[in-house]
Amino acid sequence: MTALGFSAGLVLALLILVVLVAIPIKVGAHLAHARRNGIFWCALAAVAGVLAGDLAARLFGGYIGGPLASFLGFIVAIRYLLGTTLAGA
Protein backbone atom coordinates (compact mmCIF):
# COMPACT_ATOMS: atom_id res chain seq x y z
CA MET A 1 0.00 0.00 0.00
CA THR A 2 1.17 3.46 -0.79
CA ALA A 3 0.55 6.59 1.23
CA LEU A 4 -2.66 7.34 -0.70
CA GLY A 5 -4.16 3.92 -0.07
CA PHE A 6 -3.81 2.59 -3.63
CA SER A 7 -1.97 -0.61 -4.33
CA ALA A 8 0.62 -0.65 -7.07
CA GLY A 9 -1.27 -3.47 -8.81
CA LEU A 10 -4.44 -1.40 -9.04
CA VAL A 11 -2.61 1.58 -10.51
CA LEU A 12 -0.84 -0.69 -12.99
CA ALA A 13 -4.13 -2.34 -13.99
CA LEU A 14 -5.75 1.05 -14.59
CA LEU A 15 -2.79 2.18 -16.66
CA ILE A 16 -3.00 -0.97 -18.79
CA LEU A 17 -6.75 -0.44 -19.22
CA VAL A 18 -6.18 3.11 -20.46
CA VAL A 19 -3.48 1.99 -22.88
CA LEU A 20 -5.42 -0.98 -24.25
CA VAL A 21 -8.87 0.59 -24.48
CA ALA A 22 -8.97 4.38 -24.23
CA ILE A 23 -6.03 5.22 -26.49
CA PRO A 24 -7.37 3.31 -29.54
CA ILE A 25 -10.76 4.95 -28.98
CA LYS A 26 -8.98 8.32 -28.78
CA VAL A 27 -7.23 7.69 -32.10
CA GLY A 28 -10.54 6.69 -33.69
CA ALA A 29 -12.28 9.75 -32.23
CA HIS A 30 -9.56 11.98 -33.66
CA LEU A 31 -9.89 10.36 -37.10
CA ALA A 32 -13.70 10.65 -36.99
CA HIS A 33 -13.48 14.35 -35.98
CA ALA A 34 -15.42 13.83 -32.75
CA ARG A 35 -16.34 16.88 -30.69
CA ARG A 36 -14.93 15.32 -27.50
CA ASN A 37 -11.75 13.33 -28.04
CA GLY A 38 -9.86 13.72 -24.77
CA ILE A 39 -8.48 10.68 -22.97
CA PHE A 40 -11.00 11.08 -20.13
CA TRP A 41 -13.95 11.12 -22.54
CA CYS A 42 -12.59 8.11 -24.40
CA ALA A 43 -12.14 6.12 -21.18
CA LEU A 44 -15.65 7.11 -20.10
CA ALA A 45 -16.98 6.09 -23.52
CA ALA A 46 -15.35 2.67 -23.15
CA VAL A 47 -16.97 2.08 -19.75
CA ALA A 48 -20.36 3.40 -20.87
CA GLY A 49 -20.12 1.39 -24.09
CA VAL A 50 -19.62 -1.85 -22.20
CA LEU A 51 -22.57 -1.08 -19.92
CA ALA A 52 -24.79 -0.05 -22.85
CA GLY A 53 -23.75 -3.15 -24.78
CA ASP A 54 -24.68 -5.38 -21.86
CA LEU A 55 -28.04 -3.62 -21.46
CA ALA A 56 -28.80 -3.87 -25.18
CA ALA A 57 -27.88 -7.56 -25.22
CA ARG A 58 -30.24 -8.21 -22.31
CA LEU A 59 -33.10 -6.21 -23.84
CA PHE A 60 -32.79 -7.08 -27.54
CA GLY A 61 -30.64 -10.21 -27.53
CA GLY A 62 -33.62 -12.49 -28.00
CA TYR A 63 -34.68 -10.61 -31.12
CA ILE A 64 -31.47 -9.92 -33.01
CA GLY A 65 -28.89 -11.97 -31.12
CA GLY A 66 -26.78 -11.05 -28.13
CA PRO A 67 -23.51 -10.18 -29.89
CA LEU A 68 -25.18 -7.94 -32.47
CA ALA A 69 -27.27 -6.17 -29.83
CA SER A 70 -24.18 -5.69 -27.67
CA PHE A 71 -22.23 -4.26 -30.62
CA LEU A 72 -25.03 -1.83 -31.47
CA GLY A 73 -25.35 -0.70 -27.84
CA PHE A 74 -21.60 -0.10 -27.65
CA ILE A 75 -21.57 1.91 -30.88
CA VAL A 76 -24.56 4.06 -29.89
CA ALA A 77 -23.02 4.85 -26.48
CA ILE A 78 -19.72 5.89 -28.08
CA ARG A 79 -21.57 7.99 -30.64
CA TYR A 80 -23.42 10.02 -28.03
CA LEU A 81 -20.56 10.38 -25.55
CA LEU A 82 -17.92 11.47 -28.03
CA GLY A 83 -20.22 13.54 -30.24
CA THR A 84 -19.53 11.88 -33.56
CA THR A 85 -21.62 10.35 -36.32
CA LEU A 86 -22.90 6.80 -36.12
CA ALA A 87 -20.52 5.77 -38.90
CA GLY A 88 -17.66 7.51 -37.07
CA ALA A 89 -18.35 5.55 -33.91
Query: Domain segments of the chain: what residues?
Result: 22-82
Question: How confident is the model over 7-50, as pLDDT tens digits?
Answer: 777 778 777 877 788 888 889 888 888 898 888 888 888 888 88
* pTM of this structure: 0.74
In DSSP notation, 9-76 reads HHHHHHHHHIIIIIHHHHHHHHHTT-S--SHHHHHHHHHHHHHHHHHHHHHHHHHH-HHHHHHHHHHH
Is residue 64 predicted with pLDDT exceeding 80? Answer: yes
Is residue 4 predicted with pLDDT exceeding 70? Answer: no
Average pLDDT value for the chain: 84
pLDDT band at 84 (very low <50, low <70, confident <90, very high): confident
